[in-house]
Structure 1
Amino acid sequence: MLQSWSKLLDRVLIKITFCRTLPKKHGRKTRKDIENTIVSIRKALMEGNEHESKYLGVGADAIQYRMEKLSFSMDEILSVSTIKRIVKKHGLKVNKRERYIRVKSKKRYTILNPTQIDEMYQMDFVGPRFIKGYGAVSSLNLIDVVCNRVQIEQYDSKSRDNVIGFLIQYWRNNPIPRYLQVDNGMYFIGDFKYPRRFSRFIRFCLYVGVEVVFINPKSPWMNGSIENFNGWFDEKFWDKETFTSLEDMRAKSTHFVGQYNDLSAWKKRNKSLEQINPARILNNSLKIPLGKLPLTKGKIHFIRMVDNDGIISVRNETFEVGREFISEYVWATICLKKQTMEVFYRAKDQDTAVLIKKFEYKLSEVVKDLRLDIGKTS
């Protein structure tokens, strides 16, 4: 018995010794000309002076994208890990831009899970910032949370007229989403003097069949997609360029948006993203009564945190949902057709939200049906 164990041990020791003496396997050696190209592209991206690449950033995916544009074959375009190794080898690393860190709730604050292009947008104002010799300028930024396509426009004020005009122009050429998520800025939500009278922004969205989602106050991380883009806008565009006027900034922003959207599309080239169906575009011949928009049947959503008394505040009006939900996020939906407000909550161990409260939400104003001629299918 001892002899058998001795023989087995000898065989194991021989195998270990043999494996240690084998030469280490290395991956395929990178061609020197390819390595030099990666170094040159990285340096050009870091300098940011080339017109065709100045807004792309400096990451490995941007290097891959530039190599494809420079007609390198897919076999010649190296992996992200290999590009990072080459960048580190040549001392070309840079500090990473801070991204919005999402809280540990893992999106339990929302009941939406958009998966289609043009299903859900996020929108936000950046600014005001000041152009020397001109004055204050703000940028209205819009992003599709699924495909990361963006559209931006700059204005000299944060007004509802500018917001509505921006959306009309965009939705006459691009599909109208189901949801538009924003913060609680007065240009979006309106004033609270009359809680059940809605702003022209809300009325316009209802008029064209869009459900507005208002995030919890002072919680920009809930709008993570647009906030991350805002950081990119600051770093790659606002802080990098010199502007002389509003018109100058608008002209330069077109190139910035084009490069951002091209790179975003390239990053998602291997993902099979579906378009919202049906895709509706705002009817060009439609005359929208902006001066007197009616209330239209639809829904408005609010993400709110329950306070220490078990209460939430929606448009300066309080609703008791229960002390068992203190410090938790809930989702409140106002249905104008039914004139009710339903409150939903998703527990930590649940995949779906459940209805926890329902309130009457009577309106003094007549609520009209959604017009069928608002949009045309693309």
Structure 2
Amino acid sequence: MLDQPRSSQRFEGKPKDEDVRLTKRILELVRQRPRWGYRQICQLLRREGETLNMKKMYRLWKAAGLKVPQKRRKKRATGVSTNACHVQPAGFRHDVWTWDFIQSSTIDGRTIRFLNIVDEYTRQCLAIKVGRSITSEDAIDTLAELFAMHGVPKRIRCDNGPEFISCAIKTWLDLIGVEVLYIEPGSPWQNGLCVSFNSRLRDEYLHQTDLLSLEDARIKARAWREDFNHNRPHSSLGYLTPAEFARRCAASTSVAALLPFQQHSDSIESLPVSQTNLS
């Protein structure tokens, strides 16, 4: 032991038999409760009659290399900025529909949800689905009714909400041939037309009346939608109402469809008529 540096001589402690026994029991409890931390496991040990404080429990926990695993976040569909409304604007009626949820409550404090569907080109509110809870199946049923009434749109713009990214909706829309434009997460301005509609709905309807019940909310939402479509002028539409603008779009589409046939008939009438020589 002579001529050895003092720093090389260290005491190596041996774990006590009690610590070994406690660690073994801790590991057994962790296998049963993998989401519990050391505080909850310590309480279980105390209920079993073990005498140990929180500091000792934490020391044994760290020595065993234990750690509560981090929660795994569900993989969400991530949109891109190229799907924004100013990058891919609607070019004609029923080109792009947009939909989104807003939330309010009835006078008894219970939550009520609104699913709003708007035609971006005409600003026409196609539907306001009202319910305590609106699932992806409810959203599909609402879209199916609108498709039967107005036809199938070319594209639908939305955010990355759980209802919109569900496999049921994505599979159904893909089967029909509707392209879904998912905006970039955390960028509501990329779905600006629907956000603007939601603000009008809150300001002119939800903040101006009390919702007595679910049925009362549905009746009032239906009346407000009719007023919005037929009586509220929009500066972006040349101060026409959405219904007036939609009728003009439908009329111009009909005229445009007739033009090729009219030009074809005019060209036929202008052709020289050859007479057959009779001998």
Per the normalisation by structure 1, the TM-score is 0.40
The aligned counterpart of 2:89 is: 113
The aligned counterpart of 2:108 is: 133
Q: Supply the distance in 2 between the matched residues of 1:204 and 1:276 (Cα, whole angstroms).
A: 32
Contact 2:85/2:192 (CA < 8 Å) preserved in 1?
A: no
Shift of 1:113: 3.5
Aligned amino acid, residue 161 of structure 1: E
Contact 1:119/1:276 (CA < 8 Å) preserved in 2?
A: no
C-alpha change, 1:147 and 1:183, in structure 2 (3 Å) is: same
- If each structure's strand is expressed as a fraction of its own residues, which one has the higher value? 1
Shift of 1:245: 1.0
Counterpart among 145, 150, 159 of residue 135 in structure 2: 159
- If each structure's helix is expressed as a fraction of its own residues, which one has the higher value? 2
Q: Supply the distance in 2 between the matched residues of 1:111 and 1:181 (Cα, whole angstroms).
A: 12
1:209 aligns with 2:177: yes
The aligned counterpart of 2:193 is: 225
1:180 aligns with 2:156: yes
Shift of 1:170: 1.7
C-alpha change, 1:186 and 1:107, in structure 2 (3 Å) is: closer
1:248 aligns with 2:216: yes
Q: Supply the distance in 1 between the matched residues of 2:245 and 2:209 (Cα, whole angstroms).
A: 33
Contact 2:85/2:193 (CA < 8 Å) preserved in 1?
A: no
Shift of 1:133: 2.5
Aligned amino acid, residue 130 of structure 1: S
Shift of 1:132: 2.1
Q: Supply the distance in 2 between the matched residues of 1:121 and 1:137 (Cα, whole angstroms).
A: 23
Query: CA RMSD for the aligned pairs?
Result: 2.9
C-alpha distance after superposition, 1:88-140 (max 9, x if no partner): xxxxxxxxxxxxxxxxx99988652322111101100101x221226211000
Counterpart among 125, 135, 148 of residue 123 in structure 2: 148
Aligned amino acid, residue 253 of structure 1: A
Contact 2:83/2:182 (CA < 8 Å) preserved in 1?
A: no
Contact 2:102/2:113 (CA < 8 Å) preserved in 1?
A: yes
Structure 1 residues without counterparts, runs of 5 or longer: 1-104, 191-198, 279-378
C-alpha change, 1:237 and 1:135, in structure 2 (3 Å) is: same
C-alpha distance after superposition, 1:325-361 (max 9, x if no partner): xxxxxxxxxxxxxxxxxxxxxxxxxxxxxxxxxxxxx
Give secondary structure in 2 for the equivalent of 1:172. Answer: helix
**Aligned ranges for residues 220-369 of structure 1 at < 5 Å?**
220-262=188-230, 263-264=232-233, 266-267=240-241, 269=244, 273=249
Higher Cα radius of gyration: 2
Share of identical aligned residues, percent? 22
Aligned amino acid, residue 141 of structure 1: N
Aligned amino acid, residue 136 of structure 1: T
